[in-house]
Every structure is written in C-alpha cells, then in structure tokens.
Amino acid sequence: MVFTLPQLHDFIIAISLHGAARSHINPVGDYCPGRGGFQGRTCNFRGESPMDEMLGFVPSVHRWTSPRPLLGSTGRDARPLRGDLVPGTRARMMLDDHVAVSEKPDTLVRSGQPGSMQVRFEEMIRNAQDSICAGIERVDGGASFHEDAWVRESGGGGISRVLQDGNVFEKAGVNVSVVYGTMPPEAVKAASARGVTRDVGYAPGEKVPFFACGISSVMHPRNPMAPTVHFNYRFFETDRGLWWFGGGTDLTPSYLFEEDAKHFHSVYKSTCDRHDLTYYPKFKAWCDDYFLIPHRQERRGIGGIFFDDLNDREQDKIFAFSSDCCNSFLDAYVPIIERRKNMSFNDEQKAWQQLRRGRYVEFNLVYDRGTVFGLKTGGRIESILMSLPLTARWEYDQHPAPGSPEEELLSVVKEPRNWLG
C-alpha cells in the first residue's frame, strides 16, 4: 500500500497531536485503528488493547511517497488545512506560505545583527549541512542530494537536501530551517523538555513570539547490518529574550555490533568531555529516556546523546558545545557505515530491518517533540516527514527466536547498556 502525503498527514494528526484520546479529523474523516482506515465517525486510541491488535489494521509493508510538486499544486497539499484535533480545539496548518525559490538566500535570518547568536547559529548549521552532505555523498558513491529551498512571508525559510535510492542509502536527508512565528501554548510545551516553562511573562493562552533555527538529519541505509542515524541541533529564542539550545545524535541499528556502539559513544563522550565532564553521562541517560517508545517499552535504538533547554551558562559556551557535537557527526558515523555497507544479508534479515523501521515510525509520529512542534507551527510537511524511511513493516505478534541476533538487539533496546564501561 502506498500512502500519499495528505493521507499520512491525517494519520499523523490523528495519533501524534491527539495522543491516546479521541480524534476528529476534517475534511477527510477519522483514522480509526481497527476499522481499516479513515472513517466518518469518532474512534478511540486509548491503548486498551495489545499493541499488535491496535496496529492490526496496518498493512504489512508501507512505502511513503510525496506527490510533487508540493508547492503550487492544485491539490490538497497546496491549501491551508484545518482540523478539529481534540474536541474544542482547532489547529490550522498553513502549507501555502512556503514559497519555493530557485536560489537559496545568503541568509534566512531577517534583519540579523552581525555577530548575533541567530546569525552565528544559522551560519554554523549551513556549513555543517554542506560538509555532511559532501561526506555522505562520498560514502554512497552514486546518488547526490536533491536540494529544495524556500522562504516564508513571515521571515525565515529552509533548505532541504534529500538523497534517495542511492547505492548505500535508501534515503538520507539533511535539513536546515529558520522559523519566525508565534507558538500556541501546546506548541510551547512541545518545544520544551521536562515541563520547563518558556512562556513566563505571557498571559494564560497568549501566543509566544519566537525564533527557531536548527539542523536535522536522518539516514536510512539499504543494508540491514548498517545502522540508521539521526541528529538535530537547534537554538530557540523568544521575543522577550528567553533562549535555549537543544540537540543530540543517536544510533538505531537493526543488528548489534558492539564495536560500532563503542565507537559511536566514544566519539560523543570525547566531544562532551571537551566542554564538561558531566555532559556525557547526563546526556547519554537523557537520550535513553527520550527515545523510549512507551507502548512498546523499547528504546528506538542504542542511544547517543540528547539535551534540551540548555541555558545554564554563557551562550558562547553552549554554542561552542552544540557546534562541536554537530561537527563530530561524520567521525562518529562514517567509520561504522563503511564497515557495514557491503556486508551480506538475506531476506529474513531485511524483513527484520523493516520491522525495526516500523518502531522508528511509531516513535517519530507519536512521541517526537520535533514532529509535533513542526506540525503545530505550520512547518513544511515534506521537511518534517523527511525522517521517515522509504519502507517499513508491521507483522502481527512477531517475536524473534530465542538466542538469535534479533533477540540480542531487542534486549539492548529494552535495557540500555553502558557501552564505555
């Protein structure tokens, strides 16, 4: 089965923005687990049934595609979308204020003061996008990144680069974006960690004007022995001067190689240690906690580092740390992908990779704060959903054989390890 973008958009709203309650989606209808798709009536998604029963309606294999062009089309994608997400709540997704441009601007920051953190962070992530894309193209040895650039009437914009159907990577994306807007209260919560309040000084329900700038990447290799990887680094600032940094990099293998896990974690421990010896143990534990899939009681992968709402010292120091983490990516990942990209595998191992990608999709669409934030602030849907693999698989009541490599991976995502002793 192929999901078009409008259908997937409704699916995300139904389970991501609503969570575990009722969903009312207009104009298409409700996406009802157990009823085989979109329905005209309300349905429940309460977690009362075993997960395999709740996802029993999902076809065994999904392939996500996006009709092109997204912008300027006469279809649903080009129009403002409105949906009753929760009884009494309205959300408006504006997709038509993203204006495609043939040449990317020198800067996406509006009226940026030279030397300001907004300007410096954008410069850092754009340089990182260039170097990382060049490094990944060398690894792939076949496909190149396709680039889309856009701007928004309210200011800001973005540059998306996606490599698809390559020699090594089925799909790899590296996006940068600069966003100006106002956050409704629910988006403020989605953008903040562990209940940290970022709307101090605003009246109850008052929207918070903000600036956000970030780089985000997900890479899905073809070979099931080669791990998926994700990173994101971002800077937020409100119009009243509140600011914070967030980010992290994490690894999601389908098959466990301790050599790879130790290498990946050692690179980020060394990076953290250059700035604060407490960072790695704290941010490694935070990563394990953040990427938990509660309804599975599994982590998405074997972790890495994750931090958010970081503003406990001078901006320059946290900026230097974020930059160092971002620029450590190739050192952490390329040696692993080079070791694994040409390993032999069979159909059963490929099917296991597809099942683990299903877990990846579940986390991203249901729990990931970045996805929720992007959807609630009218982000560009193509860029938000760049993280999804081309294909994923769900099987009913699937369990790996005792003592198998698949069971070993499952044990690690259920009980995180200390990879560095």
* pLDDT over 90 at 71, yes or no: no
> What stretches of 102-232 show up as alpha helix (H) in DSSP?
117-140, 185-191
Q: Which amino acid is present at 41?
A: R
pLDDT given at position 409: 97
pLDDT given at position 21: 34
pLDDT given at position 102: 87
* pLDDT over 70 at 185, yes or no: no
* pLDDT over 50 at 70, yes or no: no
pLDDT given at position 198: 60
pLDDT given at position 124: 98
Angle 331-344-64 from CA coordinates, rounded to 5°: 75
* pLDDT over 50 at 367, yes or no: yes
- Listed in order, strand segments (DSSP E) in 253-329 are 292-293, 298-299, 303-310
pLDDT given at position 47: 35
Q: Which amino acid is present at 385?
A: L
d(CA 145, CA 299): 30
Q: What is the 3-state secondary structure (H, E, C) of 139-156?
A: HHCCCCCEEEEEEECCCE
8 Å CB contact between 400 and 361:
no
4 vs 156: which has the higher pLDDT: 156
Phi, psi (degrees; rounded to nearest 5) at 107:
-145, 150
- Tell me how crowded residue 376 is: count the other CB atoms within 10 A of its CB: 23
Mean pLDDT of 141-169: 94
pLDDT given at position 63: 60
What's this model's pTM, rounded to 2 decimal places? 0.77
- pLDDT tens-place string over residues 7-34: 444 444 333 333 333 333 232 333 233 3
d(CA 195, CA 19): 17
Confidence of residue 92 (pLDDT cuts 50, 70, 90): very low
Q: Which of 339, 322, 356, 321 is nearest to 262 (CA)?
A: 339
Out of 72-86, 97-111, 144-158, 237-251, which region has the weakest mean confidence (pLDDT)?
72-86
How buried is 421 (Cβ within 10 angstroms: 0-12 exposed, 13-18 middle, 19+ buried)?
Answer: exposed
* pLDDT over 50 at 36, yes or no: no
The residues carrying an active-site annotation are: 230
d(CA 224, CA 217): 19
* pLDDT over 60 at 6, yes or no: no
Cα–Cα separations (whole angstroms), residue 142 to 56, 129, 164, 337, 367? 38, 19, 10, 15, 34
Confidence of residue 182 (pLDDT cuts 50, 70, 90): confident
Out of 93-97, 262-266, 353-357, 358-362, which region has the weakest mean confidence (pLDDT)?
93-97
pLDDT given at position 316: 97
As a whole number, the mean pLDDT across the chain is: 79
* pLDDT over 80 at 243, yes or no: yes
- Tell me how crowded residue 324 is: count the other CB atoms within 10 A of its CB: 15
d(CA 301, CA 219): 14
Phi, psi (degrees; rounded to nearest 5) at 302:
-105, 15
pLDDT given at position 194: 53
